[in-house]
Amino acid sequence: MSQTLDQLQLTAVRPATIESGLEDFNYKPIPPLAPVSALLGVCALSGLLSLLGLVFAVFGLVLGLIGRRQIQRAEGDLGGSKIAMAGVTISAVLLVCSTALHVYWYQTEVPAGFQRISFGADISKKGFVEEDGEGRAHPDIAALSGKPLFLKGFIYPEGRLDGISSFILCKDNGQCCFGGQPKLTDMIRVKMVDGQTARYSEHMVSVAGVFKLRDLRAAGNLEPAFELEASHFGPAKTSY
């Protein structure tokens, strides 16, 4: 008789215990945009070094705001509000800070007395024109001869890593690092002056010096069409 009463008590208590446990387990699904936004916010830290981080920050901010909107519309059925807010906050802060940093770098990276030019747009793209059946440098490029210029590019690897007094600067790393012979107008022969030397880097570098047109007949067909007597050399602060 006692055993029967114990079984009845267990039967009566068990459903109530299970229902109580289910009430405590109040799981709310989290929309994917919330953790994705937070992850992009963390990735945006690279914005302190490159433009890609700014892209991460923009996407993290947008996706975080969309995720927050989804959670608010669900009226309590979705969780992850704090995660989405964290993604929005981190992305917004890094977007502002990284943008300000890149603006500062861009405004201060050119040494005093030098003119900023684009290797690709101002030199490589214009290249040569034909006059009287003979190839000549584009008039805009010829007008730069003898002027102090600042530009960026990639060092063509020629074996030496440090103490480099002369090297070829290419307009992009696809030409200098992945084989092939760059076009004459896509290269500049850089000669360091005033006792300055350069160090090889696979990343973009910046140089500043006096720009000159070369005599291709004397230099040979494989030599760059242009020359820069550089007094400044260093890693590029920006990639644009």
pLDDT in tens, 42-87: 777 766 667 778 888 888 888 888 888 888 888 877 778 888 888 8
| Cβ atoms of residues 53 and 47 within 8 Å | yes
pLDDT tens-digit series, residues 2-37: 455 444 444 444 454 444 454 554 667 777 777 777
Domains in the chain: boundaries: 2-108, 115-235
The pLDDT value given to residue 8: 43
CA distance 170 to 168: 6
3-state DSSP call for residue 105? helix
Structure confidence at residue 46 (pLDDT) = 67
- Superfamily assignment of 115-235 in CATH? Protein of unknown function (DUF3299) (2.40.50.870)
Sole residue written with tokens 């960026």: 152
The CA-to-CA distance between both ends of the chain, in Å, stands at 89
Q: Mean pLDDT across the stretch 97-106?
A: 89
Q: Which of 74-78, 80-84, 112-116, 218-222 holds the top average pLDDT?
A: 112-116
